[in-house]
Amino acid sequence: MDVHIPYGNTRRIVQVPEHTVVLRSQHSSPLPDERLTFQQALRQPIGNLSLAKRVQPHDRIAIVISDITRPTPNERIVPWILDELSFIPRSQFIIINGTGSHRANTRDELCQMLGDEIVETVEIANHDAFDEQTLVYLGESASGSPVWINQHYIEADFRIVTGFIEPHFFAGFSGGAKGIVPGIAGIATIQHLHSAPLIGDTQATWAVLQENPIHRGIQDAVSLCPPEFMVNVTLDQERHITGVFAGDYIKAHYEGCTAVARLSTQEVESPFDIVITSNNGYPLDQNLYQSVKGMTAAAQITRQGGTIVTIAECRDGLPDHGNYKSLLQMGESPANLLELIHHPGFQMHDQWQVQKQAQVQLQANVYLHSSLPEGVVQAAQLLPAPDLQGTIDTLLQKYGPQARVAILPEGPVMVPYIKEPNASLA
């Protein structure tokens, strides 16, 4: 049978045996009127007064958004927030682009994310986790993290965090407090909450909030600088909004995570020999760093010694910024890299992504079908698959006609698990 898999802004079609298990998230219908539902959520929020009633005419307002690596429909939700607060002059707003430790987004990218009119009329600041001059130190959190946060955010009178909710490969779910930490946190804060012991914790995984040390660490850090209001959305494959969760940043986020868990987790009976995954197309598959998420989703149901085939365009390279690329070349094998990362005192930006990738590679062989040159893929310690169908056919011959094969067309949007569900939220 033929299965269509997102790849950048296009698709790849793979031919697989009829007995292949295709795992997709459950369908959730787009809202019949996105703007109306969004407006109602702002006016009847969860655990909070309505947004307009909480803001004063003289307030300086910060709106935190997610960067271009996320599919959040900023081009819709930000104008809707500004319309709801139309009694506030636009000169009193600042939009903070929550890049975390990613690169700054260009003006063209910001226009793509927000629309030309917003870029031209509202002040926008790209967060820089590495510039202490733009950060404020708030002290140490209850979990022991040094908390550095964007100065624009701290100095605002009223702070709104936006985002979207989906399963996350070590924080449990995206959205909520993650918009602040790591979204607009300093690199010292980010590295502490992405340390080797925390990333390696068995509870730091997909769709788990209860007992997740990274989720707990993020909540503790954000408690020192909580947003006054949160608005998160859930999305379908075409970026249509399927749900709006607004209000208290903890209570509203929890409700959103509960809704996502019902639709985006699925149990399978036993591990598979071959798992084919995507990173759900652009923007999630714009670089290899982000595409590690699709690999880890596949690893949930891949047997020890099995094979994962990742389909991700990676138009933005590995990327070139940060230490992900150089870290991958600091060890001769995934085992060497894990040994390096776990060495006492070792700390390097992007080590968490390399750690997750190496953990997957110790479990399974990982092929990558992408736009990257084969040499670049090999330097990343992955197996290149320029001929996607040829690679799949060879693997099917290797494992035999009874091979158990699964496909995750949506990549990290669908989180499979074996026997016992991971979606423990409370």
Query: Mind listing the domains of the chain with CATH numbers?
Result: 2-24+269-418 (3.90.226.30), 34-262 (3.40.50.11440)
At how many degrees (to 10) do helices 288-299 and 351-363 cross?
Answer: 40
Listed residue (153, 134, 138) closest to 61, CA to CA: 153
Report the DSSP pairing between strands 123-126 and 135-140: unpaired
What is the end-to-end Cα distance of the chain in Å, rounded? 40
155 Cβ contact list (under 8 Å, min separation 6) = 60
In angstroms, how far is CA 291 from the centroid of its own chain?
10
Rounded Cα distance between 29 and 240, Å, is 9
387, two tokens: 């001929």
Question: Which secondary structure element, helix H or strand E, spans residue 244, and what is its range?
Answer: strand 241-247
105: left (phi over 0), alpha (psi -120 to 50) or beta: beta
pTM of the model: 0.88
Report which secondary-structure segment, H or E, holds 295: helix 288-299
pLDDT in single tens digits along all 426 residues of the chain: 999 999 999 999 999 999 999 999 888 899 999 999 999 999 999 999 999 999 999 999 999 999 998 889 999 999 999 999 999 999 999 999 999 988 999 999 999 999 999 999 999 999 999 999 999 999 999 999 999 999 999 999 999 999 999 999 999 999 999 999 999 999 999 999 999 999 999 999 999 998 999 999 999 999 999 999 999 999 988 899 999 999 999 999 999 999 999 999 999 999 999 999 999 999 889 999 999 999 999 999 999 999 999 999 999 999 877 799 999 999 999 999 999 999 998 989 899 999 999 999 999 999 999 999 999 999 999 999 999 999 999 999 999 999 999 999 999 988 999 976 444 454
State the CB neighbour count (10 A cutoff) for residue 378. Answer: 13
- Whether 163 and 178 have beta carbons less than 8 Å apart is answered as yes
Concerning whether 168 is annotated as a catalytic residue, the answer is yes
∠ CA(246), CA(250), CA(251), 5° rounding? Answer: 65
CA–CA distance, 80 with 42 (Å, rounded to integer): 10
Structure tokens at 100: 């975390």
**Secondary-structure breakdown of the chain: helix, strand, coil percentages, each rounded to the nearest 5:** 35, 25, 40
Choosing from 27, 58, 152, 168, the catalytic residue is 168
The closest alpha carbon to 14, from 22, 5, 24, belongs to: 5
Residue 261 has phi, psi (to 5 degrees) of -60, -35
The catalytic position among 102, 194, 349, 369 is 102
pLDDT score for 420: 66
User: CB atoms < 10 A from the CB of 131, how many?
Assistant: 12
pLDDT score, position 422:
46
Amino acid at the residue 232: N
